[in-house]
Amino acid sequence: MKDKQIPIIDLFAGPGGLGEGFTSIVDDDNNRFFKIALSIEKDEYAHKTLTLRSFLRQFPYKKFPPEYYGFLKSEEKDVEALFQKYPVQAEKAKNEAWKFEMGKAENHSFIDERIQESLKGKKDFLLIGGPPCQAYSIVGRARRRETEGLNKKDPRVYLYREYYRILAVYQPPVFIMENVKGILSSKVDNVGVFKEIISDLKNPVESYKKLEGKANIEKSKIRYKIYSLVKRPDKNMFGEELFDPTDFIIRSEEFGIPQTRHRVILLGIRTDIQIVPSLLTKAKALIPVDDVLSGLPTIRSGLSKETDNKQNWKRAIEELLTINTGNQIDAEVWNRMKKIIDNLSMPQKGKGNDYIEYAANINYNKSWYLDNNLDGVCNHESRSHIKEDLHRYLFVSCFAKVKGRSPKLSDFPDFLLPNHLNAKEGKFADRFRVQLYGQPSKTVTSHISKDGHYFIHPDSTQCRSLTVREAARIQTFPDNYFFCGPRTSQFHQVGNAVPPLLANQIAIIVKALMQQIPIS
């Protein structure tokens, strides 16, 4: 079967969200249809996560070795000790997941060498990935005050050129490229970046020759047609197909992903292949965040800047009863807060841990998320928060329950406001944001690695921000997907990833394409 598998080259792979979705596609014999031949990632901890998952893919689908579960349960999390038990599979994983920085012309020969080695003579492969999006994100541009356009000296602006360089050199039949919605409005020297990207991807050979003066690329008329995965193109009076840039936006919540994550995803097909791809099928209903947060053990937040134990945690929350002496909080909200405080008890599993023994469950897509051999939950440890933030988290979660929305700072009583002179002036209006029961989560981004204020758990009794595992469930990573590195890095990996369950749906479309192409 391995000779029939479609190889994948995954660029800027992160922790492997796209790859996880594609390699979860199996044939009638439960063999993987796609195989990651090479995934490239420069971040140290994301690469470790990528390598660990690659190791597991060396085993039959959903049949991980028992030692992996022992690894998850151990305190040391010694990946190398796990690898030593299966040296052949470990070596394959280390060859597959490559820690390397893309975007530098002097590195192209190294990249080409690794691609050629990994493809083992196969010419037909799938190119996937998403260039780092910080340069294009609307929030990032605002933070950098790039009101007149992107800084063209920022190397991240042109990392997508790695795509069309590889398209020009290797000319795979199909590719998938993902990025943030902000790429549609990004400009350099008053020229739209997205328009340039589409032009380059459509005709990568000519674009690469112009960029690098590469006369040694053999003459080729190979071009690509770019498709949306959610909309058929309109046609003008001459029958020519027309796409609006917004046609490429995939609103994840419409496709069974429990968050309002909107991303640009392009499907490219070589023009000598006369096949029109199908579209993603919309889900029958939106998936609320509580459907994926359910079935995890309740835990409390840690307490920072003072001795952290369950007694002090409880006492810190109870202080609100003495602080709120006036009528600064809406009566209905306060009554709910008071009821929570009066009945406060210790959550099931303390502050959580990297692994908690627990019979986890979920209200959505059990076969995708759950692993009966796991016997617990990993990456489920809470952050520590100052006492004042515990009070704010309790307030916003109770406010949301009563009012049906997350409060703005203008809704806060003065004694709960953060210590900012302009706290109520609008700049920090949604500084504290709770996820809402009955609705998909807001987008999980890399900002979750900062302080957690944008990602407050809706359960008022826990008074905390989301854990890595909860963020991973919202991003649709299976429960047995372990994220390596410090917790800050784990959050960053999850926030930057493509939801694997969305990638899985895209892979179904690509599989149907590849089955119609004569593969060499």
Torsion region of 453: left, alpha or beta (phi above 0 gives left; psi -120 to 50 gives alpha):
alpha
Q: Confirm or reject CATH 3.40.50.150 for domain 2-7+11-286+499-514, answering yes or no.
A: yes
Q: Confirm or reject CATH 3.90.120 for domain 289-496, answering yes or no.
A: yes
Instruction: Let me know: does 312 contact 300? Beta carbons within 8 Å.
Output: no
- State whether residue 288 is helix, strand or coil: coil
The whole-number pLDDT of residue 450 equals 86
Give the pTM.
Answer: 0.92
Taking CA atoms, 123 is separated from 57, 88, 351, in Å, by 23, 26, 51
The whole-number pLDDT of residue 183 equals 84
* Cα distance between residue 500 and residue 16, in whole Å: 8
* Cα distance between residue 456 and residue 345, in whole Å: 19
Per-residue pLDDT of the chain (520 residues; tens, 9 = 90+): 456 899 999 999 999 999 999 999 999 889 999 999 999 999 999 999 999 999 999 999 999 999 999 999 999 999 999 999 999 999 999 999 999 998 887 888 999 999 999 999 998 999 999 887 454 443 443 343 444 443 444 444 567 888 889 999 999 999 999 998 888 887 766 777 888 889 999 999 888 887 665 555 665 778 999 999 999 988 777 777 888 999 999 999 999 999 999 999 999 999 999 999 999 999 999 999 999 999 999 999 999 999 999 999 999 999 999 987 777 899 999 999 999 999 999 888 999 999 999 999 999 999 999 999 999 999 999 999 999 999 999 999 999 999 999 999 989 998 998 876 566 666 667 889 999 999 999 999 988 988 889 999 999 999 999 999 999 999 999 999 999 999 999 999 999 999 999 999 999 999 999 999 887 6
* Cα distance between residue 54 and residue 95, in whole Å: 10
* Cα distance between residue 106 and residue 94, in whole Å: 23
* Cα distance between residue 81 and residue 96, in whole Å: 19
The whole-number pLDDT of residue 221 equals 76
Question: For the chain, how many residues are written?
Answer: 520
The whole-number pLDDT of residue 141 equals 33
End-to-end CA, the chain = 15
* Cα distance between residue 361 and residue 437, in whole Å: 18
- Strands 234-235 and 241-242, by their bridges, are antiparallel
Domain residue limits, the chain: 2-7+11-286+499-514, 289-496
The whole-number pLDDT of residue 138 equals 39
Which one-letter DSSP state was computed for residue 95? H
Structure tokens at 495: 């926030």
